[in-house]
């Protein structure tokens, strides 16, 4: 196959389709970023999504990319080559991503972290023998059969569920839906993580059923809890941090604004034979104020809030929110108490997160030792050239007097 003649497959039909992009777009791809925006596209078919050959204006082949005709992100590069991107191609890439996770002994983890694994807009999470995947671009959706075949041959799961109900699919003109793609995936699956058992709901839970990105942080926190101490897990969801805390702590207070989430947390505690967790439905902001007023003290606190900064525009308010909960949590720490705090807002940079924590520490009047900076676990790889692959930042702090 010659340059510019890669084959784009769409719905079983094969055709040579090409997109021409600007020099700026070519330079961006050369620097390792796979996204090309609408404004950098000179010529495009404008019809159906699919896999396209991409060239510069002189016809020089740049690679092959997923094409989304209505999205601001028009192209997502898959390869610099001209090879056929078929089921075998997806299988090899997914198998390579799985091989990079060798040694993870937990039963649920991310196998493909989209751009972080060179597979833009594809998420593949493993829950024991089952797989929950997300196809997040129109280009990827158009080759769904090949992707599903690739997952099957690389991972040999008992079932594949597509959690294609993520809001960002709207930008791609795609429907929001949850569809079985192969076999059956149970409504509830039991996950084993660091020796803790918890239930995940692939079809209805947040993300693909659980917050897998915090897997390593939960282990880290579990290892830093004083035996017999008092712990607080705010924004607990199904209690996954609380369960890790409860193995060492004497008492754990687990808090969430959703009673439904807490109910699942209670079930998880029973599953682990843990009876030292109190589940409380409350707004974390109000509760922190109340606990501070009552001069309560905790030996370990976890703050894992939802993303306060959903867009760049509300960043200032979001930072104020993060600072408020962190400041109050710092004040609630017993001497030598540890605080694990994090932010999953992509728009809040690592540097801004660190500045916010420093400001909170300053105002808290406590001396906070930085034990560890963290991010998502290694199954959610961050690529320096592709900042969008990183969003979770965390810090483990200790109050030293």
Give the residues across from 207 on adjacent strands: none
The residue (of 61 and 328) whose beta carbon lies closer to ligand SAH is 328
Residue 317 half-sphere exposure, CB side, CA atoms within 13 Å?
8
Dihedral of alpha carbons 17, 22, 27, 31, sign: negative
Least distance between ligand SAH and beta carbon 342 (Å): 9
Q: Give the dihedral sign, CA 382/387/388/391.
A: positive
- State both tokens at 312: 């760049």
- Report the nearest approach of ligand SAH to the CB of residue 294 (Å): 18
Nearest distance, CB of residue 236 and ligand SAH, angstroms: 6
What is the Cα–Cα distance from 174 to 185, expressed in whole angstroms? 23
Residue among 171 and 207 whose Cβ is closer to ligand SAH? 207
Alpha-helical (H) ranges within 272-349 are 284-293, 315-332
Q: Which is nearer to ligand SAH, 5 or 283 (CB)?
A: 283
Question: At its nearest, how many Å lie between ligand SAH and the CB of residue 215?
Answer: 9
Token match 């390579």: residue? 96
Distance CA(159)–CA(293), nearest Å, equals 51
Q: Verify whether residue 342 is a known catalytic residue.
A: no
Structure tokens belonging to residue 351: 């540097």
Shortest distance (Å) from residue 281 CB to ligand SAH: 8
Q: Which is nearer to ligand SAH, 283 or 336 (CB)?
A: 283
**Which residue among 344, 356, 360, 386 is the active-site one?**
344
Number of residues in the chain: 401
Question: What torsion, rounded to 10 degrees, do the Cα atoms 271, 274, 276, 277 define?
Answer: -30
C-alpha to C-alpha distance for 136 and 143, rounded to whole angstroms:
12
Contacting positions for ligand SAH (CB under 6 A): 211, 214, 235-238, 240-241, 255-258, 261, 283-285, 304, 306
Give the span between the Cα atoms of 121 and 386, in whole angstroms: 13
Chain CA centroid to CA 117, Å? 13
Nearer to ligand SAH, 64 or 268 (CB): 268
Phi-psi region of 195 (alpha: psi -120 to 50; beta: other; left: phi over 0): left
Instruction: Find the shortest distance in angstroms from Cβ 260 to ligand SAH.
Output: 9
Q: Which is nearer to ligand SAH, 29 or 241 (CB)?
A: 241
- What amino acid positions are annotated as catalytic residues? 344
């Amino acid at each position: 196959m010659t340059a510019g003649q890669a084959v784009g497959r769409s719905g079983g039909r094969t055709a040579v389709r090409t997109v021409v992009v600007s020099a700026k777009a070519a330079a961006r791809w050369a620097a390792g970023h796979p996204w090309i925006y609408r404004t950098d596209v000179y010529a495009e078919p404008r019809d159906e999504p699919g896999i396209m050959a991409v060239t510069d204006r002189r016809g020089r082949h740049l690679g092959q990319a997923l094409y989304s005709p209505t999205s601001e992100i028009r192209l997502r590069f898959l390869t610099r080559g001209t090879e056929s991107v078929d089921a075998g191609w997806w299988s090899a890439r997914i198998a390579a991503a799985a091989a990079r996770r060798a040694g993870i002994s937990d039963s649920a983890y991310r196998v493909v972290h989209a751009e972080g694994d060179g597979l833009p807009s594809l998420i593949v999470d493993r829950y024991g023998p089952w797989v929950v995947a997300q196809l997040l671009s129109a280009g990827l959706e158009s080759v769904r059969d090949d992707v599903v075949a690739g997952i099957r041959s690389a991972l040999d799961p008992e079932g594949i569920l597509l959690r294609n109900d993520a809001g960002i699919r709207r930008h791609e003109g795609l429907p929001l839906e949850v569809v079985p793609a192969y076999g059956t995936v149970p409504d509830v699956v039991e996950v084993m993580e660091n020796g803790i058992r918890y239930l995940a709901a692939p079809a209805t839970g947040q993300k693909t059923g659980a917050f897998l990105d915090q897997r390593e942080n939960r282990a880290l926190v579990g290892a830093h809890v004083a035996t017999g101490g008092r712990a607080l897990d705010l924004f607990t969801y199904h209690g996954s941090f609380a369960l890790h805390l409860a193995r060492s702590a004497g008492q754990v207070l687990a808090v969430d604004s959703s009673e439904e989430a807490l109910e699942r947390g209670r079930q998880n505690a029973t599953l682990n034979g843990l009876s030292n967790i109190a589940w409380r439905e409350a707004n974390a902001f109000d509760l922190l104020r109340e606990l501070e007023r009552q001069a309560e003290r905790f030996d370990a606190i976890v703050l894992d809030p939802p993303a306060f900064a959903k867009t760049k525009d509300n960043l200032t308010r979001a930072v104020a929110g993060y600072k408020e909960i962190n400041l109050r949590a710092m004040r609630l720490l017993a001497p030598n108490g540890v605080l694990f705090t994090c932010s999953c807002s992509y728009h809040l940079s690592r540097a801004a997160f660190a500045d916010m924590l420093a400001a909170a520490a300053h105002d808290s009047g406590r001396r906070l030792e930085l034990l560890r900076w963290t991010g998502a676990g290694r199954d959610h790889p961050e690529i320096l050239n592709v900042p969008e692959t990183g969003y979770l930042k965390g810090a483990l702090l200790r109050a030293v007097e």
